[in-house]
Amino acid sequence: MLEKLGVAVSTVTHAKVFTVADSTLVKTHIQGGHTKNLFMKDKRGQLVLISAWAESQLPLNQVHRVLGTQRLSFTDAPLLWDALGVTPGSVTAFALMNDASGQVKFVADEALLAFDTLNFHPLRNDMTTSISRADFLAFAHATGHTVQRVDFTKLGGI
């Protein structure tokens, strides 16, 4: 999809990483804003994908108020696969391209969007793809998603 959009990216292969802590060694060699991505849902079934800067503190007990959802909880692997076509450890904003029905609300951290270059897994956790902020926002729009920007620092981290 990125190629079809004419988006230039750079991808690096590395050992599999499952958490932000696992990726510490990986990100030392890759410039830009590194991400943590959370796939969640509320009791009504609203699905939410949050892409945040890896260093941001996310007040998950408060973010639902800003999003207009009920309190959020993590989803299970089958729902993650059905909605975004990825497995745990590989959650990424690039998976928005698999949400053809538009059921997933997408939230991006303002701290992440402050970087000129953003880094996400390309649907698998043994690679990191770097993309410019402008191209990433164009990609999200091309998938039919609105990018809801949230400044997590104003919510108070936990």
Which pLDDT value is given to residue 21?
72
Mean pLDDT computed over 9-33: 81
| Distance of alpha carbon 48 from alpha carbon 39, whole angstroms | 6
What is this structure's pTM? 0.92
pLDDT tens-digit series, residues 117-150 = 999 999 999 999 999 999 999 999 999 999 999 9
User: CA 49 from chain center: how many Å?
Assistant: 6
Residues 9-150, CATH architecture: Alpha-Beta Complex (3.90)
Instruction: Please state, in angstroms and as integers, the Cα–Cα distance from residue 80 to each residue in 10, 86, 95, 147, following that order.
Output: 26, 6, 10, 19
**Closest C-alpha among 97, 100, 101 to residue 120:** 97
Which pLDDT value is given to residue 80?
97
Work out the pLDDT band at 158, boundaries 50, 70, 90.
Answer: very low
Please answer whether residues 115 and 32 qualify as being in contact, where contact means their C-beta atoms are separated by less than 8 angstroms.
yes
CB within 8 Å of 98: residues ≥ 6 apart: 83, 84, 85, 86
**HSE on the CB side for 41, CA within 13 Å?**
14
Which pLDDT value is given to residue 25?
65
Please answer whether residues 26 and 145 qualify as being in contact, where contact means their C-beta atoms are separated by less than 8 angstroms.
no
Please answer whether residues 50 and 84 qualify as being in contact, where contact means their C-beta atoms are separated by less than 8 angstroms.
no
